[in-house]
């Protein structure tokens, strides 16, 4: 689980390391998976293609859920609806181990990106580039971002990945959910091009994060680049805590 709050700079650095470690682990795990059917973690299969689960996938999907192997083999695909999977205790870990990705889940009834959230997936899972790409293929980037970008911690996790471009999520969107969360807002900016990521960010959004001069300077933003990139006027810069000298 990604860290959900940060109280100090050391905690922030730890959070970034955790997100990076999870991203690496996700990529490694994905590389170790051997898709056992055509749909597994694939984005090119027609949406109406039938879902066929191998015995190995069924065992992985229901591992440690109380569902016996015999029951897993006997269960029809039609029974594997998202509510049914939840009721049986199937977790995102099980689904990933079974190579059951967002496209397959959509065919099983998870027709909205919010259904992935209900199944237990979080912004941290977007650190896996293949999983993120498949989620976007299944539901569209806008819907995925709307479902997964809800909290400051989500913004930190998304910014910590290489997938912000795939998700087509902009800095304004990530900073908006960081309203009143200056430490997380700083974490978002720390992971973006230093001193150059505020283009198109309304000054009101930056002010709402609670970031002020000291923290902004630490992540590469002084008066000149804030004014240039956000269109901030003198009063705005003063509210950010900068001292204007004539």
Tens digit of pLDDT for each residue in 203-238? Answer: 999 999 999 999 999 999 999 999 999 999 999 999
**pLDDT higher than threshold 70 for residue 47:** no
pTM of the model: 0.77
User: Which residue reads 């680049």 in tokens?
Assistant: 225
Residues 6+ apart with CB under 8 A from 199: 171, 229
Report yes or no: 88 and 97 within 8 Å, Cβ to Cβ: no
What sign does the dihedral 59-65-70-72 (CA atoms) show? negative
Please report the DSSP string for 131-159 in residue order: HHHHHHHHH-HHHHHHHH--SHHHHHHHH
Compute the distance between CA of residue 66 and CA of residue 186 in angstroms, rounded to an integer.
Answer: 43
Query: Six-digit token pair at 145?
Result: 């971002």
Report yes or no: 39 and 103 within 8 Å, Cβ to Cβ: yes
**pLDDT higher than threshold 60 for residue 43:** no
């Amino acid at each position: 689980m990604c860290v959900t709050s940060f109280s100090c700079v050391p905690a922030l650095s730890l959070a970034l390391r955790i997100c990076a470690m999870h991203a690496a682990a996700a990529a490694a795990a994905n590389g170790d998976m051997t898709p056992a059917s055509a749909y597994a973690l694939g984005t090119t299969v027609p949406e109406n293609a039938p879902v066929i689960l191998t015995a190995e996938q069924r065992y992985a999907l229901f591992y440690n859920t109380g569902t016996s192997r015999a029951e897993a083999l006997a269960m029809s695909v039609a029974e594997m609806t998202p509510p049914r999977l939840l009721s049986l205790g199937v977790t995102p870990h099980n689904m990933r181990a079974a190579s059951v990705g967002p496209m397959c889940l959509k065919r099983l009834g998870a027709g909205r990106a919010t259904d992935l959230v209900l199944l237990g997936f979080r912004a941290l899972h977007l650190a896996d580039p293949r999983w993120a790409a498949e989620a976007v293929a299944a539901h569209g980037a806008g819907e995925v971002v709307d479902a997964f970008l809800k909290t400051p911690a989500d913004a930190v996790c998304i910014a910590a990945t290489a997938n912000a471009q795939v998700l087509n999520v902009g800095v304004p969107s990530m900073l908006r959910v960081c309203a009143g969360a200056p430490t997380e807002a700083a974490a978002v900016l720390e992971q973006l091009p230093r001193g150059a990521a505020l283009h198109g960010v309304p000054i009101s959004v930056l002010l709402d994060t609670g970031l002020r001069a000291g923290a902004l300077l630490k992540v590469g933003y002084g008066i000149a680049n804030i004014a240039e990139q956000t269109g901030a006027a003198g009063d705005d810069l003063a509210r950010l805590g900068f001292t204007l000298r004539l």
